[in-house]
Chain A
Amino acid sequence: NIFRILADLSHLASIVILLETIRKARQIDGISLKTQILYVLVFCTRYLDLLTFRWTSLYNTLMKFFFIGTSVYVVKLMQDCKLTNPVSYKDMMFRDTFQIKYLLGPCALLALVFNYKFTVLELCWSFSIWLESVAILPQLFMLSRSGKASTLTTHYIFALGLYRALYIPNWIWRYYSENRLEKLSIFTGLLQTALYSDFFYIYYRKVMKGRGFELP
């Protein structure tokens, strides 16, 4: 359906914006390495089913490889910055201070409690879906500490947030058309979108009106 396609396109767009930002500007100011590492973990645990060869579709499989590949590549590009632009790297590390153990621990616990089956694959899937819902927190924390961000960084966060928000009408659509109700995805999707809501509001008020992102 249209919402799901738009959501996936928005997710793709967010990654392209991020890669272009890092490659062109050769700096990583305002981008959280911790959030990017969490995404590597999210995609690697979510798409373990690639190893079972029970593929849904070519589209699905290609997208999975793309998300794993690009998330690893982003982390590598950011690590490279240690040598190519040490000032920018140091500045990023100085601001990227969110303690991710407070996300990893609870997500692992939630995965043990809420899952569809008590198998390695399903537990990893559930862990990834919980972790994805909060993976943006180090990035948002960094943003709130510095109080402002480059326009490209805010476009990246917006596209990334929009992707999960668009999955919500997709789930409503699928409930009516296929009688499909995936409670875990829906709950974590709502949680994820809620975490972005404050950002969305400021993005709408400032960036979309061409005023640049600055926190009140």
Chain B
Amino acid sequence: NENKGTHDEL
């Protein structure tokens, strides 16, 4: 998944 490791949540 491309979103892995992009922590844009708090």
Contact = CB atoms under 8 A, between A and B. Distances in A.
Contact of B4 (A49, A57, A170, A182): A182
Question: Looking at chain B, what size class is its interface with the partner chain?
Answer: under 10
Contacts, number: 30
Is chain B's interface secondary structure helix, strand, loop, or mixed overall?
Answer: loop
Interface in B1-10: 1, 3-5, 7-10
A60 B5 contact: no
Nearest to B8: A56
A4 B5 contact: no
A124 B2 CA distance: 20
Contacts of B1: 180-182
A214 interface: no
23 contacts: A4-B9, A8-B10, A11-B10, A46-B7, A49-B7, A56-B8, A57-B8, A60-B8, A63-B10, A64-B10, A67-B10, A116-B4, A116-B5, A117-B4, A117-B5, A122-B5, A167-B9, A178-B3, A180-B3, A181-B1, A181-B3, A182-B1, A182-B3
Contact of A60 (B3, B4, B10): B10
Interface residues of A, number: 22
Contacts of A63: 10
Give the most central of B4, B8, B9: most A CB within 10 Å: B9
Contacts of B4: 116-117, 182
A64 B9 CA distance: 10
A70 interface: no
A57 B10 CA distance: 11
A185 interface: yes
A125 B3 contact: no
A195 B5 CA distance: 26
A116 B3 CA distance: 10
B8 to A, nearest CB: 5
